[in-house]
Chain A
Amino acid sequence: MSQLVEIRDLKVSAKTDAGRTVEIIKGVSFDIAPGEIVALIGESGSGKTTIALTLMGHCRPGCRISGGSVRVDGQDMVTLTERERAEVRGTKVAYVPQSAAAAFNPSATIMDQVIEVTRIHGLMPPEQARTLAVELFRALSLPNPDSIGERYPHQVSGGQLQRLSAAMALIGSPKVVIFDEPTTALDVTTQIEVLRAFKAVMRKGGIAGVYVSHDLAVVAQIADRIVVLRGGEVQESGSTDQILHRAGHPYTRQLLAAFEPVPRSPEEAARVTDLRPLLEVDKLVAGYGPIQADGLPLVRALKSVSLSVQRGRNLGIIGESGCGKSTLARAIAGILPRRGGNIIFDGRELSPDARQRSREELRTLQIVFQSADTALNPAKSVEDLLGRPLTFYHGLKGKARDQRVDQLLDMVHLPKTVRHRRATELSGGQKQRVNFARALAADPKLILCDEITSALDTVVAAAIIELLKELQRELGLSYLFISHDLSVVEAICDEILVMYAGEKIEQLTPATVGSPDNHPYSRLLFSSTPKLDPTWLDSLEQDPELVRAYCRR
């Protein structure tokens, strides 16, 4: 037997809240050779994590393996008892979670949790385990490897915690490691370091891996083979090279296509003749915490940011978590009153606090939030959600309102039948469309889009971007588009503003992105965005000085 893992006709069924049993994995088969890294790729709900967890004989609550076999190193995980599975977990198969921040017990030290596997399975004395852990910390290029284990999880950064969770997985010398979207929650500049560390230790130890991800570019860097999943079925599988360059299945091609955004054509932007700026932001200061003696808040998330948005044109704001991009949107919208600077919208100065703005000012400047799940009231139907701004801003009632709701649904390409449903009964993409339609209901001139595609799958996000462009052509809107994802911003924006630590670094056009004249931070940020090219990570060279200056790894 040459294969380390053999999955044959695996079926997993889940019980819905209504008590019905549905099959979520519908007969999946694939193999993993010793030392090989296989990526499971697909959108949310495609079953990639569920499949990966069956390698440990584990199913999330409500699910169970209903058929097939999962042989790991000769043992069928499906037929083992719970006690026998526990023996395999951590020793033969180990797990690196999506969010290490949540997967570390907040009330125990990192070292205790890293060496817990050796303690549970009685692999080695604690002293030896500690020495081994420190070696792993060093191999994963963690800072202060000798002392980092004494800290508690909240005392280290997200990127470090993710690498520490890899150490936690590797300490039992497993034959297979499952990586469950381990870099999805990280900033791109941090992601590089983590990916490199993972790749190095896996190669060195000859350990096989299952890499679960929705991001083809990330997977291209680390995987030997790719399995494309959709709706609990394998769509296509093959070597990384094969999938990237000679994809056979239409769905794979769709995934690949979502990576190459169609930039906004210059003619489109040029059609606008009115060249007065729509939004002018001058030296904006905002932040959180108590107001200090100098009249500024304790934590200044925005330190004097200036920008302007022209009519019918789009400005993208790009930066990593904590750079102040969401605060910028909140300060412009007046949700977080600014503490300094000035905002002129459509020729008039806006009051810092949204509550002091006129209804007309509120109407013309709308904001769409990242997570439609939390932005839409789960107790209301789509009709109510869209009807409320119509009544509030336009005084529409009865039939006129019903008609307008239908029009809005049509604009965002949703069927009329969804109007009686609640937000919780819609898919992620549909929810985001409703979220966007709610902003459109006001007939705004400018929409602030705060990471509106971040929670969506690549293909769905691409469709939303297309929708945004189409609506812009029809309605002459402007967008202030905030994202951490360069490719999304490039696809829709005429100009791109790079932010770092509450300050504007520079303003670029998509055409000049990546040119050597860019600011050093912009260069670092742009070069950190993964490319579909499998050699990208290995050949990438970044100035260590620059990395030290700008990365909080």
Chain B
Amino acid sequence: MKKQVLSLIGGRLAIALITLLIVSSAVFFATALLPGDTAAILLGQAATPEAVAGLRKAMHLDDPALLRYGRWLIGLFTGDFGASYANGRPILDLIGGRFINTLKLAGVTTLFAVPLALFLGITSAMLRGTLYDRVVTLCTIGLISIPEFMVATTAVLVFSVTLGWLPALAYANDVKSFGELLRVFAMPVITLTFVVSAQMIRMTRAAVVETLNTPYAEMALLKGASRPRIVLRHALPNALGPIANAMALSLSYLLGGVIIVETIFNYPGVAKLMVDAVATRDLPLIQTCAMIFCLGFLILTTLADIVAILANPRLR
């Protein structure tokens, strides 16, 4: 049995690696397809054709695409992400601090969103059909429908402009105490929690409701078990797989999809860096950011799959 689990998990990891490889080629060739010549753009309008040709040669832009892809891929695996086209600084330096900022924001949001989503999802499944369930459902559907810039701007209007409780901008770098951290992160975290937990609440509720409808949940009821016991002992362990998957999908959004929140609160994260990179046509930076997002997504979904495998006693 143990061996089977290991081989299954090994299989999942292998698939993740293969996916990463496919994604890397998609990222590389898609950015290569962007219109315009990098060298010409870098040198500006006054550049002579000789200068452009020289730069192209220096940047190996004339090499076949496959060769450039191979070189780039090897660089990725050896930790050499190349240098920015825009200012010549190593990509690693550019991303490093930003990435930690993004992780901080994602981490704090996860800390709030996951317990909240689990609690609301499970309780609304337990109290299915009651007023409480309907209110939760209505609110989550409402939140899914409201775009995040709306939530973010309203939050700024209310908490910063009108009430003056929280700073409108979030500078992660000058945080000294935990209280300050909370104050700085409060609004982005609230906004992001709204965005990611709605989906998680819905999925958790659906997964728990489904297991509550099974004969073994009814059997537990007929043994005289209380509702919390039925849910925690019988329904939840069997709903773990789907719940973990829903969480992974929602949380992966925190790594790359938070550009609007980062822009509104002027938060120095990776997503904002990538958008800036697109504006300056900084291909190595765009590619590396894209790879980071994909890697984060893959790590989360693979983790969810592994949780689902481990939660299944038939495989354990």
Chain A residues engaging chain B, CB cutoff 8 angstroms: 53, 56, 58, 60-61, 86-91, 94-95, 97, 99, 102-108, 116-117, 120-121, 152, 154, 168
- Flag if B222 contacts A89 (CB, 8 Å): yes
Question: Please, which residues of chain B bring their CB within 8 A of the CB of A97?
Answer: 215, 218-219
User: Is B49 close to A, CB under 8 A?
Assistant: no
Question: A105 to B314, Cβ gap below 8 A?
Answer: no
CB pair B312–A116 under 8 Å, yes or no, is: no
How distant is A72 from chain B, measured CB to nearest CB, in Å?
A: 14
User: Using Cβ atoms and an 8 Å threshold, which residues of chain A touch B314?
Assistant: 106, 152, 154
A58: nearest chain-B partner, CB-CB:
B222
Contact with A along B221-261 (1 / 0, CB 8 A): 11111100100011001100000000000000000000000
Q: B224 and A105: CB pair below 8 A?
A: no
Given the interface pairs A105-B216, A105-B238, the reply to whether A121 lies near B221 with Cβ below 8 Å is no
Residues of A within 8 A of B219 (CB): 95, 97, 103-105
Does B190 make an interface contact (CB < 8 A)?
A: no
Q: A97-B215, A102-B215 are in contact. Are A90 and B224 (CB under 8 A)?
A: yes
Q: Is the pair A116, B215 in contact by a Cβ cutoff of 8 Å?
A: no
Of B214, B218, B219, B237, most buried by chain A (CB within 10 Å of CB) is B219
* Contact between A117 and B238, CB atoms less than 8 A apart: no
Instruction: Find B223's partner among A89, A102, A107, A108 (CB 8 Å cutoff).
Output: A89
- The complex places the Cα of A347 from the Cα of B266 at a distance, in Å, of 82
CB distance from B219 to the nearest CB of A (A): 4
In chain A, what residue has the closest Cβ to B222?
A95
Q: Are the C-beta atoms of B237 and A108 separated by less than 8 Å?
A: yes
Q: Which of A87, A94, A105, A121 has the most CB of B within 10 A?
A: A105
CA distance A94 to B221 in the complex (A): 11
Distance in angstroms between the alpha carbons of A105 and B234 in the assembled complex: 6
B179 in the interface (beta carbon within 8 A): no
Nearest CB to that of A91 among chain B residues? Answer: B224
Contact, CB under 8 Å: B216 / A102 = yes
Proximity string of chain B (281-316) to chain A, C-beta cutoff 8 Å, 1 when within and 0 when not: 000000000000000000000000000000111100
Instruction: Note all chain B residues with C-beta closer than 8 A to A89.
Output: 221-224
In the assembled complex, the Cα of A87 lies from the Cα of B222 at a distance in Å of 10
C-alpha spacing A152/B219, complex, angstroms: 16
Can you offer 22 A-B residue contacts whose CB atoms are under 8 A? A56-B222, A87-B224, A89-B223, A89-B224, A90-B222, A94-B222, A95-B219, A95-B223, A99-B215, A102-B214, A104-B219, A105-B220, A106-B216, A106-B314, A107-B237, A107-B312, A108-B233, A108-B237, A117-B223, A120-B224, A121-B224, A168-B223
A106 touches B224 (CB 8 A): no
| B13: min CB distance to chain A, Å | 23
Could you tell me the distance in whole angstroms from the C-beta of B244 to the nearest C-beta in chain A? 14
Contacts of B313 in A (CB 8 A): 106-108, 152, 154
List residues of chain B with CB within 8 A of the CB of A120. 223-226, 229
Could you tell me the distance between the alpha carbons of A91 and B225 in the complex, rounded to whole angstroms? 12
Contact B311 A107, beta carbon cutoff 8 Å: yes
Contact partners of A87 in chain B: CB under 8 A: 224
A90-B223 contact given A107-B313, A152-B313, A154-B313, CB 8 Å threshold: yes
Nearest-neighbour CB distance to chain B for A361, whole angstroms, equals: 41
Q: Which of B214, B221, B234 contacts A58 (CB 8 A)?
A: B221
Decide if B220 touches A116 in the complex (CB within 8 Å).
yes
* A116-B223 contact given A102-B216, A152-B314, A154-B313, CB 8 Å threshold: yes
Given contacts A86-B226, A116-B220, 17 further A-B contacts (CB under 8 A): A86-B224, A89-B222, A89-B224, A91-B224, A99-B215, A102-B214, A103-B218, A103-B219, A105-B234, A105-B238, A106-B216, A108-B237, A116-B225, A120-B224, A120-B226, A121-B224, A168-B223
A58, B312: Cα distance in complex, Å: 30
Chain B residues with CB below 8 A from A121, complex form: 224
Q: In the complex, A95→B216 CA distance in Å?
A: 12
Residues of B within 8 A of A106 (CB): 216, 238, 312-314
Tell me which residues across on chain B come within 8 A of A53, comparing CB atoms.
222
Q: Report, nearest first, the 4 A-B pairs whose CB atoms are least far apart.
A: A89-B224, A102-B215, A90-B224, A103-B219
Closest Cβ–Cβ distance, residue B58 to chain A (whole Å): 54
Minimum C-beta distance from A76 to chain B (A): 18
Most buried by A among B216, B225, B234, B238: B216
Least distance between A170 CB and chain B CB atoms (Å) = 12
A contact residues around B237 at 8 Å (CB): 105, 107-108
| Cβ–Cβ < 8 Å partners of B216 in chain A | 102-106
Which A residue sits closest to B229, measured CB to CB?
A: A120
Contacts of B224 in A (CB 8 A): 86-91, 117, 120-121
Q: Closest approach, in angstroms, between the C-beta of A499 and any C-beta of chain B? A: 29
B218 / chain A contacts, CB cutoff of 8 Å: 60, 97, 103
C-alpha gap A97/B223 in the complex (Å): 12
The complex places the Cα of A233 from the Cα of B37 at a distance, in Å, of 85
- Give Cα A117–Cα B225 distance, bound, in whole angstroms: 8
Chain B residue nearest in CB terms to A85: B224
B234: chain A residues within 8 A (beta carbon):
105, 108
A102 contact set on B, CB distance < 8 A: 214-216
Pair B215/A103 contact, Cβ less than 8 Å: yes
Complex: how many Å from CA A104 to CA B220? 9
Residue of B nearest to A82 (CB): B227
* Cα–Cα distance between A94 and B224 once the two chains are bound (Å): 9
Once the chains are docked, how many angstroms separate the CA of A87 from the CA of B226?
10
Q: How far is the CA of A108 from the CA of B311 in the complex (A)?
A: 11
In the complex, what distance in Å separates the CA atom of A61 from the CA atom of B312?
Answer: 28
Complex alpha-carbon distance, A104 and B238, angstroms: 12
Which partner residue on chain B sits nearest A107 by CB separation?
B237
Q: How far is the CA of A88 from the CA of B225 in the complex (A)?
A: 11
Q: Can you name the residue of chain B whose Cβ is closest to the Cβ of A154?
A: B314
Query: For the complex, what is the distance from the CA of A467 to the CA of B222, rounded to whole Å?
Result: 42
In the complex, what's the smallest C-beta–C-beta distance from B4 to chain A, in angstroms?
13
Rounded to whole Å, the gap between the CB of A257 and the closest CB of chain B is 33
**A105 CA / B314 CA spacing, docked (Å):** 12
Instruction: Collect the chain B residues with CB atoms within 8 Å of residue A107's CB.
Output: 237-238, 311-313
- In this complex, the member of B224, B225, B238, B314 whose beta carbon has the largest number of chain A beta carbons within 10 angstroms is B224
**Complex formed: what's the CA distance from A88 to B221 in Å?**
11
Instruction: State A157–B220 Cα separation when bound (angstroms).
Output: 21
**Which residues of chain A are within 8 angstroms of B220 by Cβ–Cβ distance?**
105, 116
Q: How far is the CB of A390 from chain B (nearest CB, A)?
A: 40
Q: Separation in Å of the A59 CB from the closest CB of chain B? A: 11
Whether the pair A86, B225 counts as a contact (CB closer than 8 A) is: yes
Task: Please report the C-alpha to C-alpha distance between residue A89 and residue B226 in the assembled complex, in whole angstroms.
Answer: 11
**Residues on the A chain within 8 Å of B222, using CB:** 53, 56, 58, 89-90, 94-95
For B215, the chain A residues whose CB sits under 8 A away are 97, 99, 102-103
Expressed in whole angstroms, the Cα–Cα distance for A104 and B213 within the complex equals 13
In angstroms, Cα B215 to Cα A31, docked, is 28
Q: Which residues of A contact B223 (CB under 8 A)?
A: 89-90, 94-95, 116-117, 120, 168
Which residues of chain B from 186 to 226 have any CB-CB distance to chain A below 8 Å in the complex?
213-216, 218-226
